[in-house]
Structure 1
Amino acid sequence: MTFIQAAVSPSGRGTPAMAFGKHVIRMMAANTGGSLGMFEAFVPAGEGPPLHVHEREDEFFRVLAGRFGFWCAGDYVELAEGGCIALPRGVPHRFRNVGKAEGRLMVVVTPGGFESFFPIVELCKPETAEQIASIGKRFGLTFLPEDGRKVA
């Protein structure tokens, strides 16, 4: 698979995936020679994923709307619209919409592939934590216990 021509995602386009909230897949690894994937996440106030680790990809986030808190290893940072953060693979992290309204993130994963997690979850409709963990494992994603750490 090679990346030899521009991958384009015009405004208002993408493939919606309703899994853990609304996600819109904007670029697939298949369109970038596997080098990256990109999606938008629409995150209700107070929501965000549990502590987790990606074994395969680094993540880049840009806050498109709202205010988000990001935890990575022992660090915490809050970012408003326009703020960016890159999180390394293999390091426990999470984020939460700390604002009062729905927020929106642009997420780029490199290499690509993880962007397919949300359509697969939507398709499989897992009902238990074990089923979700099983799908995550296929994507090199592990959910971690909070261990009493204050992350809220």
Structure 2
Amino acid sequence: MKTFTYAAVSPPGHGTPAMAFGKHIIRMMAANTGGSFGMLEVIVPPGEGPPLHVHEREDEFFRVLSGCFGFWCAGDYVELTEGGCIALPRGVPHRFRNIGEKEGCLMVVVTPGGFENFFPIIELCKPETPEQIASVAKDFGLTFLPDDDRTVA
């Protein structure tokens, strides 16, 4: 990984698409930031979002680029629209959902970087069972929580 001593740039309309669990566009990779962070855009249909999960390695920052989203983190719930931001700590169960009636878009920054590679790897590996998905997720320090734990958020 090269040292982060030069600007990392992602011009409008650029990025690497990853069609895994929806549409993701990888805008900056840890390899371009000395591991400091990764950044992606997530396009989320109405009513969609990831299940409750925990990141062991990275904190996440979200900025709503369009739409209306609900964010659950531990016992808290927040609704945000375009321009709203939220930071979620590692090690804490959380999830988000597009609660609007139209497709929404989030900018997500993970720090340290590396997790942005999860979606291209899922797209490449094409895991089919929950066990296969959990195996790939484990390599990224990600744990999806069972349905019984969803009362937390």
**Separation in 1 of the partners of 2:82 and 2:132?**
34
SS at 2:34's partner residue? coil
Residue 72 (structure 2) aligns with: 71
Scaled by the length of structure 2, the TM-score of the pair is: 0.96
Residue 23 (structure 2) aligns with: 22
Is 1:130 equivalent to 2:131 in the alignment? yes
Residue 112 (structure 1) aligns with: 113
Residue 151 (structure 2) aligns with: 149
**Separation in 2 of the partners of 1:24 and 1:110?**
17
Residue 36 (structure 2) aligns with: 35
Q: How far did residue 150 of structure 1 move?
A: 7.7
Residue 44 (structure 1) aligns with: 45
RMSD of aligned residue pairs (Cα, Å): 1.0
CA deviation string 1:50-99 (max 9, x = no partner):
00000000000000000000000000000000000000000000000000
**Separation in 1 of the partners of 2:45 and 2:133?**
20
Q: How many residues align?
A: 151
Structure 1 segments, 4+ long, off by >2 Å, are: none
Is 1:59 equivalent to 2:30 in the alignment? no
Scaled by the length of structure 1, the TM-score of the pair is: 0.97
Partners of 2:74 and 2:152 within 8 A in 1:
no
Unaligned 5+ runs, structure 1: none
Unaligned 5+ runs, structure 2: none
SS at 1:4's partner residue? coil
Amino acid at match of 1:92: P
Residue 88 (structure 1) aligns with: 89
